[in-house]
Structure 1
Amino acid sequence: MTVLAAVIALVGSLFFALGAALQQFEASGSAEPGLLALLRRPRWLLGGLSILAGGGLHIVALGLGPLTVVQPMGVASLLFALPIAAALHGRRPTRAELTAAAVVAAGLIGLVLLVPESDGPARLEPSGVVTLLAVAGVAAVLLWAGARAASPAGRAALLATGSGVLYGATATLVRALVDGGWNWWYLLALPVPALLALMMLQRAYAVGHFGVSFASLQIADPLTAVAFGALLLGEPLPTGLAPVAAAALTAAGTVALARTTPLETRH
């Protein structure tokens, strides 16, 4: 069952990578990267369906195998996404680009595996939901503002990081709903960070540095979820030098991606 879970998670990563590459291809260089404009593009919608399929397969894999096997397979989507995106833009990924992506993936796998498993249900009070949305919202606004003055690669990274923060807040809220009991007020709040994250991500994709934006998203999303879990749900954080080394590896790989991934826009 563990082998089957790994295979399903790997296929899910491929679907997720394909969806992200398709959506970036449609958003890149677009004069109107807003959701309303993108929703009229069949290829962008196909990318969304592919992402949903990848997420569904990841959930199935988690039901069949341990987290320590399934999660690293999920990180492989970065290595799949770069060649797919390059092919859509009519080029081949460079060795330096793939090496940088592998460094990011290795650091992210280390961070994911070092996070201690939580015990007990995740309960979030209404005041915690307000704090969650406020902190995520302020962080996203600051990152959005910083992106306006950044270079293209920096803009893609900051916008995607903001999207990852909002997705991490969404994941925390979903977990509180599933583990701590359903609440209609939480359900009403759930679409807000999710939609804002999707909009911000399309802005990041529109810049053109797909490798940078996708890597930044993959880093910010789980780290934000872990931070909110510790801040609001009382979950444990990893300790020691290993998490620091993994974070440094991930940061170094992202910087290398920013220097090696070319600007890709549609004309």
Structure 2
Amino acid sequence: MSVLAAVVALVGSLFFALGAALQQFEAVGAARPGLLALLRRPRWLIGGASILVGGGLHIVALGLGPLTVVQPMGVASLLFALPIAATLHGRRPSRRELAAAAVVAMGLVGLVLLVPESGGPTRLAPTGVLTLLGVSGVAAVLLWAGSRMASPAGRAALLATSSGVLYGATATLVRVLVDGAWDWWYLLALPVPALLALMMLQRAYAVGHFGVSFAALQIADPLTAVAFGALLLGEPLPTGVVPIAAAALTAAGTVALARTSPLEARH
């Protein structure tokens, strides 16, 4: 079953990578990367459907095998996405670009495998939900503000990190809805960070540095979810030197991607 779970998760990563590449291709070619404008683009919608399929397969994989098998397969989406995006833009990814992505992937695998498993159902009071939305919202705004003064690669990274923070908040809220005690108004709060994250991500994609933005998203999303899990749900954090080394790998790989990933544009 573990082998089957790994295969299903790997196929899910391929769908997720394809969807992200399609959406970036449309966002970078749009005069205005607004969500309403992108919703009129069939290829962007196909990308969204592909991401949903990938997410669904990831959930199926989690039902078939342990987290330690499924999560590393999910990280492979970064390695899939770069060649797909490069093909859409009519180029081949360089060896340095793929090597940098591999470094990010190794760091991410280390991080996701070191996160301690939580025990028991999750509980989050209404004040906790407000804290979740407030902290993630402030962080996202600060990252967006910083992106306005950054270089193109830095702008892509900061906007995607902003999106990842909001997606991490969304993931935390989903966990509470699925696993813990909740009120009906939690369902009303859920679309807020999710939609803002989607909008911010399209702005990151529109900058043109797909490798940088996708890597930053892949890093910020799980790390934010882990941070909120520790802050609001009382979950343990990984300890020791290895998590620091894994985080350093992801940071070094992302910086390398910023230097090797070309600025892509479509006219």
TM category, shorter: over 0.9
Aligned residue in 2 for 1:136? 136
- For 1:18-167, list aligned pairs within 5 A: 18-167=18-167
Could you tell me how far apart the structure 2 residues matched to 1:202 and 1:211 are?
Answer: 14
Supply the AA of the counterpart residue of 1:101: A
State how far apart, in whole Å, the 1-side matches of 2:43 and 2:251 are: 32
Which runs of at least 4 in structure 1 moved beyond 6 Å after TM superposition?
none
TM-score (norm 1): 0.99
Offset at residue 182 of structure 1 (A): 4.0
Paired positions, count: 267
Work out the CA distance in 2 between the residues paired with 1:125 and 1:141: 24
The match for 1:247 is 247
In 1, are the aligned partners of 2:124 and 2:182 still within 8 Å (CA)? no
Q: Does residue 261 in structure 1 map to residue 261 in structure 2? A: yes
Q: RMSD of the TM alignment (CA)?
A: 0.5
Q: Which residue of 1 aligns with 2:15?
A: 15
Q: Determine the C-alpha separation between the residues in 2 that align with 1:263 and 1:226.
A: 31
Matched position secondary structure for 1:264: coil
Q: CA deviation at 1:14?
A: 0.1
Structure 2: state its 5+ residue gaps.
none
Q: CA deviation at 1:254?
A: 0.2
Provide the rounded CA distance (Å) in 1 between the counterparts of 2:171 and 2:124: 13
Aligned twin of 2:232: 232
The answer to whether the Cα contact below 8 Å between 2:33 and 2:206 also exists between their aligned partners in 1 is yes
Stretch deviating more after TM superposition (141-150 or 25-34): 25-34
Is contact 2:124–2:181 with CA below 8 Å preserved after alignment? no
User: Once the two structures are superposed, what CA deviation does each residue of 1:3-43 show, in whole Å capped at 9, x if it has no partner?
Assistant: 00000000000000000000000001422100000000000
Report the counterpart of residue 172 of structure 2 in structure 1: 172
Q: Is the 8 A contact 1:17 1:77 kept in 2?
A: yes
Instruction: State the TM-score, normalized to the length of structure 2.
Output: 0.99
What's the counterpart of residue 5 of structure 1?
5
Identity among equivalent pairs (%): 88
Q: Secondary structure at the match of 1:5?
A: helix
Conservation of the 8 A alpha-carbon contact between 1:122 and 1:175:
yes
**Cα offset, 1:183, TM superposition:** 2.1
CA shift digits 1:81-127 (9 cap, x unpaired): 00000000000000000000000000000000000000011100000
1:29–1:208 CA contact under 8 A, matched in 2: no
For residues 181 and 85 of structure 2, what CA distance do their matches in structure 1 show? Answer: 40
Distance 2:56 2:32 in 1: 30
Distance 2:193 2:169 in 1: 7
Q: Distance in 1 between matches of 2:225 and 2:125?
A: 17
Question: What residue ranges of structure 1 are gaps of 5+ in the alignment?
Answer: none
